[in-house]
């Protein structure tokens, strides 16, 4: 009994040490791994799109779904880039005219709070000395541009080599049973990531449309740009909700001379986020995202510390992948249980499509 207990303790300790070492390696190799992870993420999205086209458009030739999915995705990302560039230019131009209003808002806040703030935004900027951050911002922009290029390169090679995955799986797992288990594991990971993407995309679109409607109703400048920013930020847990609720009202305070527009935006955006987050998304998610909220928060902090903004964007999909992989091994099953929302990381996968039991063989 003591020997078995000691064996379990040693194995769990090895798992913890392996996680720490893997985290250090992921951090050191972040410049290489971040573009690859984003490319894999995009490849899963495109592959899902291909399978949707095959299912919904059976009249297409067998070779057509992949080129069509790539073309539609390229058009979508191109329009997205154009939308950002076009609206960001106008947004930056309008910001230059907000100086006097910012001065007035700063003075009113200082008078109401009773704090000796600088008399103008220029004096505040002088105190903050933002020039010291310019170098960091430029480096981040350069890093983003170079990462985007690497992501596209990785994505191209992943798509080009996808036809060889089946042959590689045969060579990696000569035993039919082991190969079947590996394919099942990959399918679970892919399905979990796809379900997360579906839920976040539909939920983010609902919030963005509702936000655009109220922003356009009150006359907030660049409503389309703000709606798109809210949609993209929705893929980042917690931070996305804060962006959608706080930033538009703050800019409404700068744009308008009265406060009611900011108050209306703040109230309605909170209502929209509450309805979508607490009524719509739980019905859509069902059994698809069985992740503990604390695990989501810790994952956001962990991957954000390792990979920055890209890590925050990928934190939930990576957590889904980690939970599915950890659940396959007895030594790490306890970690999968802690990550899961209800203590059953294999929920919804214990039965096959016809209700028959599906065996889950855990590796030692």
The predicted pLDDT at position 130 comes to: 45
Task: Give CA 295 to chain center in angstroms.
Answer: 15
The predicted pLDDT at position 242 comes to: 84
The predicted pLDDT at position 269 comes to: 92
8 Å CB contact between 341 and 282 = no
The predicted pLDDT at position 97 comes to: 61
8 Å CB contact between 155 and 42 = yes
The predicted pLDDT at position 240 comes to: 81
The predicted pLDDT at position 128 comes to: 45
The predicted pLDDT at position 266 comes to: 92
pTM, two decimal places: 0.70
The predicted pLDDT at position 362 comes to: 45
Give 282-319 pLDDT, tens digit per residue: 666 554 567 788 888 888 888 888 888 788 888 888 88
Give 12-32 pLDDT, tens digit per residue: 677 678 778 887 888 888 888
Residues in the chain predicted with pLDDT less than 50, given as ranges, are 119, 125, 128-134, 137-138, 287, 348, 350-364
The predicted pLDDT at position 212 comes to: 92
């Amino acid at each position: 009994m003591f020997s078995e207990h000691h064996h379990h303790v040693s194995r769990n300790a090895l798992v913890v040490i392996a996680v720490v070492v893997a985290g250090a390696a992921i951090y050191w190799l972040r410049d290489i791994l971040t573009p690859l992870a984003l490319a894999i993420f995009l490849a899963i999205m495109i592959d899902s799109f291909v399978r949707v086209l095959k299912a919904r458009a059976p009249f297409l030739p067998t070779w057509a779904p992949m080129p069509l999915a790539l073309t539609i995705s390229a058009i979508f990302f191109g329009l997205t880039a154009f939308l950002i560039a076009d609206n960001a230019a106008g947004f930056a131009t309008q910001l230059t005219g907000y100086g006097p209003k910012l001065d007035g808002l700063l003075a009113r806040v200082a008078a109401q709070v009773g704090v000796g703030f600088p008399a103008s935004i220029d004096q505040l900027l002088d105190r903050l000395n933002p020039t010291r951050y310019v170098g960091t911002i430029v480096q981040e922009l350069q890093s983003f541009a170079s990462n985007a290029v690497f992501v596209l390169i990785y994505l191209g090679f992943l798509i080009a080599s996808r036809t060889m995955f089946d042959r590689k799986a045969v060579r990696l797992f000569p035993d039919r049973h082991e190969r079947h288990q590996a394919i099942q594991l990959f399918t679970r990971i892919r399905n979990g990531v796809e379900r997360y993407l579906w839920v976040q995309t539909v939920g983010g679109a609902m919030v963005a449309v509702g936000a655009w409607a109220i922003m356009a109703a009150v006359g907030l400048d660049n409503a389309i740009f703000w709606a798109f920013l809210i949609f993209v930020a929705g893929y980042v847990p917690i931070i996305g909700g804060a962006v959608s609720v706080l930033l538009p009202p703050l800019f409404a305070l700068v744009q308008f001379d009265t406060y009611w527009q900011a108050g209306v935006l703040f109230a309605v955006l909170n209502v929209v986020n509450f309805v979508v987050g607490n009524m719509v998304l739980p019905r859509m998610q069902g059994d698809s995202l069985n992740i503990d909220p604390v695990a989501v928060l810790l994952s956001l902090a962990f991957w954000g510390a390792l990979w920055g903004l890209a890590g925050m964007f990928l934190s939930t999909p990576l957590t889904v992948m980690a939970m599915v992989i950890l659940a396959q091994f007895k030594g790490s099953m306890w970690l999968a249980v802690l990550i899961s929302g209800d203590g059953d990381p294999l929920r919804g996968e214990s039965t096959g499509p016809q209700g028959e039991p599906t065996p889950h063989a855990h590796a030692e």
